Amino acid sequence: TIYNLGSINLDHLYQLDHFVRPGETMASNSYQCLLGGKGANQSVALAKAGATVKHIGAVHHSDQAVLRQLEDLGVDTSLVAQLDVPTGHAIIQLNKQAENCIILYQGANHALTQEQVDQALSTAEPGDWILLQNETNLIEYTMKKAQQQGVKVAFNPAPMDAALTKQVLELVDLLIVNEVEAMDLIGTTDIDSTIAAFPKVYPELAVLMTLGKAGVYYFKGSETVFAAAFSVQAVDTTAAGDTFIGFILSSLMKGEEMKNAITRACAASAICVTRLGAASAIPTQDEVTEFLAK
């Protein structure tokens, strides 16, 4: 089983001629409400990749449709708390230039309790994985609990909080960062020196560093693996990283070698970027197998 302690958001998307200005009231050209949050996206990716995934999170008790949507996509939501706190949400303005402007309300994502985590992990077994991002509370607490139970910890520190990340690194079995997160953690603005620095600064840590269309690095001690990204026509890179993470962990859980796991995850995220949207753009494992057979 893969546990995923992560955010569940409702993304309210408004297309506008221009961003709303101070004092202005403006009708939007369109409205969509989509399931979002890195946590939910990664749970969907794990499920589509064929993993047994139990999401640990929280929503407002009136938002049953969100839970149903996750269940329909194959995610077990029995460990999602239903609280009297608003579901996390984002108010997203999209202008004509496709730029966005976002208000984020963390809501229930930051109302997780230690009792909830304790209970969720009480059925975990050694060899299970737990995945976390940085969009909920109780990151360090959960990692400590997991480690005590022999559950392996994968951490995607997004959005990056360098202080928190450094503080919990010794609890992490696999760190997954994108280019910006990697540079923030090392404290440079240059990607080449970041790549060179990682294995030196963190020699004990297993790290996957995704570099968009440039591909992905894996570092562990003296071992370095580089995999190029697949060449595709990208239309929307939303959820590329979430797809990568879901597929890599699902493969590792099944006992795949890291190299093969990386190839599958690169293929899955390459398919993702050829499609519009987040959760809906994540491919199934059959689609990935078909893509790799070509």
Q: Which sign, positive or negative, has the C-alpha torsion 43, 220, 204, 181?
A: negative
Smallest gap from Cβ 286 to ligand ADP, in A, equals: 19
As a whole number of angstroms, the distance between CA 139 and CA 200 comes to: 26
Smallest gap from Cβ 11 to ligand ADP, in A, equals: 16
Say whether 213 counts as a known binding-site residue.
yes
The two three-digit tokens of residue 174, written as one number: 């696999």
Say whether 242 counts as a known binding-site residue.
yes
Smallest gap from Cβ 284 to ligand ADP, in A, equals: 17
As a whole number of angstroms, the distance between CA 176 and CA 173 comes to: 10
DSSP string of 58-117? EEETT-HHHHHHHHHTT-B-TTEEEESSPPEEEEEEE-TTS-EEEEEE-GGGG---HHHH
40 versus 266: smaller Cβ distance to ligand ADP: 266
Q: How far apart are the first and last CA of the chain?
A: 31
As a whole number of angstroms, the distance between CA 8 and CA 29 comes to: 26
Q: What is the largest CA-CA distance in the chain?
A: 58
Say whether 200 counts as a known binding-site residue.
no
Say whether 205 counts as a known binding-site residue.
no
Smallest gap from Cβ 35 to ligand ADP, in A, equals: 17
121 versus 282: smaller Cβ distance to ligand ADP: 282
- State the catalytic residues: 242
Q: Which residue is nearest to ligand ADP (CB)?
A: 241
Smallest gap from Cβ 178 to ligand ADP, in A, equals: 4
The two three-digit tokens of residue 102, written as one number: 């976002």
The two three-digit tokens of residue 121, written as one number: 């992990």
Say whether 37 counts as a known binding-site residue.
yes
- Per CB under 6 A, residues contacting ligand ADP are 178, 210-213, 215-216, 229-230, 232, 234, 237, 240-241, 244, 266, 269-270, 273
Say whether 184 counts as a known binding-site residue.
no
DSSP string of 247-267? HHHHHHHTT--HHHHHHHHHH
Say whether 50 counts as a known binding-site residue.
no
β-strand 88-94 against 100-105: which pairing, if any?
antiparallel
Is residue 108 within 8 A of residue 85, CB to CB? The reply is: yes
Binding residues, as ranges, are 9-11, 37-41, 135, 178, 210-215, 236, 238, 241-242, 272, 275, 277
Binding residues for ATP, as ranges, are 178, 210-215, 241-242
Binding residues for substrate, as ranges, are 9-11, 37-41, 135, 242
